[in-house]
Amino acid sequence: MLLFFGVVLVAIGLVLILVGRTNLPIGRLPGDILYRGKHTTFYFPLATSILLSVVISVILYLIGRIRH
């Protein structure tokens, strides 16, 4: 089971790398918090997290409806 989850995490990472190379604004949406100080950078993708949560919730809801 751990091996399966490891493979899933690697696959998700590869998908995110490929999406990052496109011109989609994932991770650069309005509402994402970016603070650049003199020696620090703080980034919190708030809007991106909410959007991905909604998309994943809808996908899982549809899968649940199809299974029953």
- Cα dihedral across residues 38, 41, 47, 50: positive or negative: negative
How much is the pLDDT for 33? Answer: 92
CA proximity to 51, closest of 33, 35, 27: 27
pLDDT tens-digit map of 3-54:
999 999 999 889 878 877 887 777 788 999 999 999 999 999 999 899 989 9
Three-state SS at 38: coil
Report the predicted TM-score, pTM, of the whole model to 2 decimal places: 0.65
Among left, alpha and beta (phi > 0; psi -120 to 50; other), residue 30 is beta
**Cα–Cα separations (whole angstroms), residue 57 to 22, 39, 40, 52:** 24, 38, 34, 8
How much is the pLDDT for 28? Answer: 81
Domain boundaries, the chain: 2-67
